[in-house]
Amino acid sequence: MRLSTLLASSVLALGAVSATALADHHGGHAATPAEQNIVEIAAGNDDFSTLVAAVTAAGLVDALSGEGPFTVFAPNNAAFAALPAGTVETLLEEANLGQLTAILTYHVVSGQYLAAETPAGTYDLTTLQGGTVNVVVGEDGTVTVDGASVIAADIQGANGVIHVIDAVIMP
């Protein structure tokens, strides 16, 4: 399937499911980000369309919509675009979904880690993939994850928190 087709269908499908579920669950009013789960927040933000397509292709929507809590280091579209040409398309092929799943679950840790509540220091966190990411919180409040910069932190969801990163990190 072409990337553009997969992106469009994934965002539309998740957006429709999210909007319907949220309207039904919340009596017809729009849910605030803290009422939405991590997947719903990502699906509602155009800057995560590539991530949403990848999560959908890898079959991780239900897992990341679960109870949690999770901390997700979420690469934005620009982070995916910075990968070598053809990388995303190759990872989305059915034969490579295991590798895609490993990469995506490397961006997720169990538990909720808020940047605003984390003292300066270096932390090694075990990912759902099984590897370890190195998180460095600077005295000035900057945060990096395996060298990728956190460009937006502490986006609170019902089942965890999202930190937007400027690169795709690899296990």
63-105 pLDDT, tens per residue?
A: 999 999 999 999 999 999 999 999 999 999 999 999 999 999 9
Please name which of 157, 116, 150 lies closest in space to residue 133, comparing C-alpha atoms: 150
pTM for the model stands at 0.82
The third-level CATH classification (topology) of the domain covering 3-165 is: FAS1 domain (2.30.180)
What residue spans define the domains of the chain? 3-165
φ/ψ of residue 21, rounded to 5: -60, -40
112-171 pLDDT, tens per residue?
A: 999 999 999 999 999 999 999 999 999 999 999 999 999 999 999 999 999 999 999 999
Measure the CA–CA gap between 105 and 55, rounded to whole angstroms: 9
